[in-house]
Amino acid sequence: MAAEIRTFTCLNDNFGYLIHDPATRATASIDAPEAGPILKALEREGWQLTDILITHHHGDHVGGVAELKQKYNCRVVAPHDKTTRIANVDLRVANADVVKVGSLLARVLETPGHTLDHVSYVFDTEKTLFAADTLFSIGCGRVFEGDYPMMWDSLLKLRALPDDFKLYCGHEYTASNVKFALTVDPDNAALQARAAEVTRLRAENKPTIPSLLGDEKRANVFLRADEPSVAARLHMKGADAAAVFGELRERKNKS
Ligand code: ZN
Ligand code: FE
């Protein structure tokens, strides 16, 4: 039986995600921005929360953990990090660890840069990637704790996943990301197609997530920092991909 995924809004623009295993009735929340919408989604489905898979320590990803843990006594899985500020953790994970959610398997990928502790969770059988604040649709997270080469490396790890994997990211930032991407990658037909799709989805008040990783590889300029045409646009011909990525990120910060 295929896993079921539910997507909903938390806080202002965070995504809440539940992944449910019909075989065992295990259910994981990917991050816990706030308890309210997650409780509502669980009640709507009649699911019991068994696990919370945390991606990084930011408040908008862990704010609901304590309340959910108290109510469901669920297991809390979080990145291994000596300086971590995440509380209520039962299991610390590092790169290549595999976490079970019932009979579903989540592979841990360390994707630092946005924060040093950031991990992404890959459900290979379900062809599903939860990338939180590392990779957004047509964008990427701000680089707060790491540096540009570190973040670029993390994006390359995610780019190495197959094209038919679905991307579930941490925030609904797609429209703003598209607007910026068109300023630096205006001739990209895949980006133009995604722009039209995003305009339509937002007009219908629908989420822009999930997207396909193959489409992101073609349309997301932050995954294209090693494309000569992108470097040329930034007048950085021949520059290192991490430097081109850094320039893109700086421009987005100022946009
Ligand atoms: Zn964050
Ligand atoms: Fe966030």
Domain ranges of the chain: 1-86, 105-255
Model pLDDT, residue 82: 66
**What pLDDT sits at residue 226?**
97
Statement: residue 41 has pLDDT above 80: yes
| Closest alpha carbon to 48 in 63, 31, 68 | 68
Q: In the prediction, which pLDDT does 176 show?
A: 97
Ligand 2 center–CA 101 separation, angstroms: 23
**Average pLDDT over every residue of 132-155:** 98
> Separation of 209 CA from ligand 2 center, angstroms?
15
Instruction: List, as ranges, residues with CB under 5 A of the ion ligand 2.
Output: 60, 133, 170
b/e burial code for range 24-53 (CB count within 10 A of at least 16 → b): eebbbbbbbbbbebbbebbeeeebebbbbb
Strand order from edge to edge, sheet including 104-110: 98-101, 104-110, 119-123, 128-132, 166-169, 211-212
Q: Which ligand is nearest to the CA of 14?
A: 2
Q: Which two tokens stand for residue 35?
A: 């308890």
Cis upstream peptide for 37 (omega within 30°): no
Mean pLDDT of 135-145: 98
- 154-208 residue pLDDT tens: 999 999 999 999 999 999 999 999 999 999 999 999 999 999 999 999 999 999 9
Q: Taking residues 6-32, what's their average pLDDT?
A: 98
Separation of CA 66 from chain center = 22
> What is the pLDDT confidence band of residue 1, given thresholds at 50, 70 and 90?
confident
Same CATH fold, 105-255 and 1-86?
A: yes
Measured from the alpha carbon of residue 60, the closest ligand is 2
1-86 under CATH 3.60.15.10, yes or no: yes
Give me ligand 1 centre to Cα 177, in Å: 16
Residue 79 Cα, ligand 1 centroid: separation in angstroms?
13
Structure token pair of residue 79: 């990145």
pTM of the model: 0.97
The secondary structure of residue 171, as a DSSP letter, is: B
Considering all CA atoms of the chain, what is the largest pairwise distance in Å, rounded to the nearest integer? 55
Confidence of residue 110 (pLDDT cuts 50, 70, 90): very high
Q: What is the mean pLDDT of the chain?
A: 97
Query: pLDDT digits over 53-105, tens only?
Result: 999 999 999 999 999 999 999 999 999 976 668 889 999 999 999 999 999 99
Cα(117) to ligand 2 centroid in Å equals 13
105-255: CATH topology? Metallo-beta-lactamase; Chain A (3.60.15)
Q: Is the pLDDT of residue 217 over 90?
A: yes
**In the predicted model, what is the mean pLDDT of residues 117-126?**
98
Query: Ligand 1 being an ion, which residues bring their Cβ within 5 A of it?
Result: 58, 133
| Beta strand pairing call for 14-21 and 4-10 | antiparallel
